[in-house]
Structure 1
Amino acid sequence: MTDTGTPLHGTGRPDPVAGTEFSLQLMLLESRDIAAFLDELAVLAAYRLSTPGNTIHAGVTVLRHKRPRAVAASDPHAMALDELQNGFGEGPCLTALRNRATLLVPDLAVERRWHPYVRTARQHGVASILAVPLDLAGEADAVLNLYSAHPGGFSSEDVSEAETFAVQAASSLRLAVRITQLIEVKSDLSATLESRTIIDMAVGAIMAENRCGRDTAVAILTRASNTRNAKLRDVAAAVIASISGETTISTYFDE
């Protein structure tokens, strides 16, 4: 649905993105990380919507901590256009992102909104823009930004196709975000367990050397950390290195 509330579906032509969801899931499995997946997503979107004589440039912008960030693009031109709009802090793509509604600007030459950005975008060869939000179900806010060098570069059929693609892409992107979050949690847990192991080893060494209890050993280690203005883990590692000569501590635990 556009920002005017007019549906742009029901063109009646066969779905040209049949199988796209499977392709996106395959891309997700084969991508080395979420950044690579987003780049491939932008490339696929541009490929799907480009026609002879009308090359489409695609970018993806994500809203993080209320600040937009261009995270992926089909090509350097699309990335530059996304960053340009983010620099102005306004434009059709950011409006679509904030309103969570598809927005089509068929001809920038007659557009009266976002005047400073529109003027600059035209200087960069943009004539029409289509922005389609990606519904990530609360995981984040993102928008697919599509640029054409031609006025009327996006037909109603193109809008319908782009919205269908965005729905399919969002499904895979939600999965990518959740996988990334799980990886980050696992990484944080591993780091925490490693730090705890090193600290416990140092506490044991201090107990043996000073013939004291655990609480006293912890207090000694903490006092050294505060005095040196260093992390407790780093001080603990230094204690172990001074006793055993080991500078690298390996930890093992069942996942």
Structure 2
Amino acid sequence: MSLKALVGVKRVIDYAVKVRVKADKTGVVTDGIKHSMNPFCEIALEEAIRMKEKNLVKDVIAVSCGPTQCLETLRTALAMGADRAIHVEISQDIYNKMQPLHVAKLLAKIAQIEKPDIILVGKQAIDDDANQTAQMIAGLLDWPQATFASKIEPDGDKRLKVKREVDSGLENISVSLPCVISADLRLNEPRYATLPNIMKAKKKNIDKKTLSDLGVDLKCDTIVMNKVEEPPTRKAGIKVETVQDLVAKLKEIGRI
């Protein structure tokens, strides 16, 4: 098998950073905040690189959509082992209004140009937790999809066997190529980019595309963000001495 893999990578606020809401409640504070590659995107990229190491994939292309800062994420992808990178340059104003459907349209368009055998993305991004992009890409391209993948193996010449994590346990499916796969948490553990590879990645060219280059009109005014609020502070609990006291308290607050 000698396949081409297209991997979507998103720049998000680092998972270790405590997110703060802006004073005017129009969004979250991003200025001066550490950003990194979305953890689920790291897993998707790692899987593509591992497939290349097993000679299942010959070319790994990382794609990121957004403002100039996304170049940092793509450099990380190249340092991890991606062969090429594509940056779809989008102004910050438009990017702030983008939804999963817009990203899906862009990745689907790039797929029509690059003609990959596999599109790998994270099952969700930790900023919006939408879990929609993979499914929408598959719908736009009319490709088979395997979401929440925890294991990927070859299944004949033009098929992949995917183990999926579902509510009832694990599900094994076989999908024909080309296909769209979204990576779950237990698919793998991403590698750290080594310093020599980080230095090499700085010298690699990143192909830049614009919305006009791709012929995509995002029309990002269909959803309006009214207000962003922090979740309410959790109230302190109470202690009870006996089971009878617990039952009485639950009845009092209407839980039973």
User: The TM-score by the shorter chain falls in which range?
Assistant: under 0.3
TM-score by length of 2: 0.27
The structure, 1 or 2, with the larger RCO (C-alpha pairs under 8 Å, 6+ apart) is: 2
TM-score by length of 1: 0.27
Which is richer in helix? Answer: 1
Larger radius of gyration: 1
